[in-house]
């Protein structure tokens, strides 16, 4: 095999499926190739040296060989293992959701460096911080943005008027927020409280470093989750398997994953 058929890339493993006797089919997300499928040969054998570097959600440096249909992973070296994320089922459930959402909203072979950076930053957050739902909301909003589905949170998506503090409406089908007048004319739109809208705006326009410092009450967290879930499922036109996993874990009440404190920045005025 000639050197020209080999290439190197960073990658995060989004999905793995058993393939043949001892192989795995990997769905990778890479900086320059976007979503990319490849085969890892022999990784289900106990003696495989590559296996540990190709675990789900691992950020690795890979050497691949071009294949006739699928490329083959020939070497793998871990950059970040995200071990805490994989050791904790609640954290794992959020990482599954992040990976599944990215898999569904991206196409193979389309480079998107900022999306790769966003994925690594979301996994780092889920691996090391307590605010797991906040990490997921941040990822959803920025993923939608980078995938071309940015929700409009500042102007009414129907009449273009600036959104005022008060009760507005959330309409995934229209691509964002509706003012009270327009909202009442859209039967599929649902009310969105001013605090929830404030948080969405903050998450959409601030860095992960500032967003990590937000402390949200349980009620706001649930409202944000429902709003984003409706938005995401509208664009995907179906549900994600990982959402069911998160729900099951909640029912088992393994541990509270939100901090029972007040809404961000206080007051009712919009930023």
Residue ranges that bind Zn ion, judged by CB under 5 A: 156, 158-159, 179, 182
Half-sphere exposure of 177 (CA within 13 A, CB side): 24
User: Rounded to an integer, what distance in angstroms lies between the CA atom of residue 158 and that of residue 168?
Assistant: 12
- By DSSP bridging, strand 34-40 and strand 6-19 are unpaired
Identify any residues that bridge with 72 across adjacent strands, giving them in sequence order: 39, 65
Tally helices (H) and strands (E) across the chain: 9, 8
**By C-beta, is 150 or 155 nearer to Zn ion?**
155
CB of 166 to Zn ion, least distance (A): 13
User: Rounded to an integer, what distance in angstroms lies between the CA atom of residue 254 and that of residue 29?
Assistant: 30
**By C-beta, is 168 or 221 nearer to Zn ion?**
168
**By C-beta, is 31 or 183 nearer to Zn ion?**
183
**By C-beta, is 78 or 152 nearer to Zn ion?**
152
Residue 245: is it exposed, middle or buried by C-beta count within 10 angstroms (0-12/13-18/19+)?
A: middle
CB of 184 to Zn ion, least distance (A): 10
CB of 108 to Zn ion, least distance (A): 38
Geometric angle at alpha carbon 120, from 117 and 124, rounded to 5°: 135
**By C-beta, is 148 or 187 nearer to Zn ion?**
187
On whether the CB atoms of residues 76 and 62 are closer than 8 A, the answer is yes
CB of 157 to Zn ion, least distance (A): 8
CB of 270 to Zn ion, least distance (A): 15
């Amino acid at each position: 095999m000639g050197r020209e058929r080999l290439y190197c890339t960073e990658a995060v493993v989004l999905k793995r499926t058993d393939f043949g006797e001892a192989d795995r089919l990997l769905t990778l997300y890479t900086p320059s190739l976007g979503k990319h499928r490849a085969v890892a040969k022999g990784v289900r054998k106990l003696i495989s040296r590559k296996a540990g570097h190709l675990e789900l959600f691992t950020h690795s440096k890979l050497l691949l060989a071009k294949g006739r249909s699928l490329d083959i992973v020939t070497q793998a070296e871990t950059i970040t293992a995200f071990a805490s994320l994989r050791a904790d089922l609640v954290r794992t459930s959020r990482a599954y959701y992040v990976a599944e959402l990215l898999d569904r909203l991206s196409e193979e072979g389309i480079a998107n460096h900022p999306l790769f950076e966003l994925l690594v930053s979301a996994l780092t957050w889920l691996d090391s911080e307590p605010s797991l739902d906040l990490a997921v909301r941040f990822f959803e909003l920025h993923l939608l943005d980078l995938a071309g589905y940015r929700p409009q949170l500042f102007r009414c998506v129907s009449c273009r008027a600036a959104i005022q503090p008060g009760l507005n409406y959330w309409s995934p089908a229209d691509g964002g927020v509706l003012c009270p007048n327009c909202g009442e004319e859209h039967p599929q739109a649902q009310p969105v409280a001013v605090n929830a809208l404030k948080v969405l705006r903050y998450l959409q326009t601030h860095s992960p470093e500032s967003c990590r410092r937000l402390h949200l009450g349980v009620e706001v967290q649930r409202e944000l989750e429902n709003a984003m879930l409706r938005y995401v499922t509208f664009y995907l036109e179906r549900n994600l398997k990982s959402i069911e996993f998160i729900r099951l874990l909640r029912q088992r009440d393994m541990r509270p994953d939100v901090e029972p404190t007040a809404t961000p920045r206080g007051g009712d005025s919009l930023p």
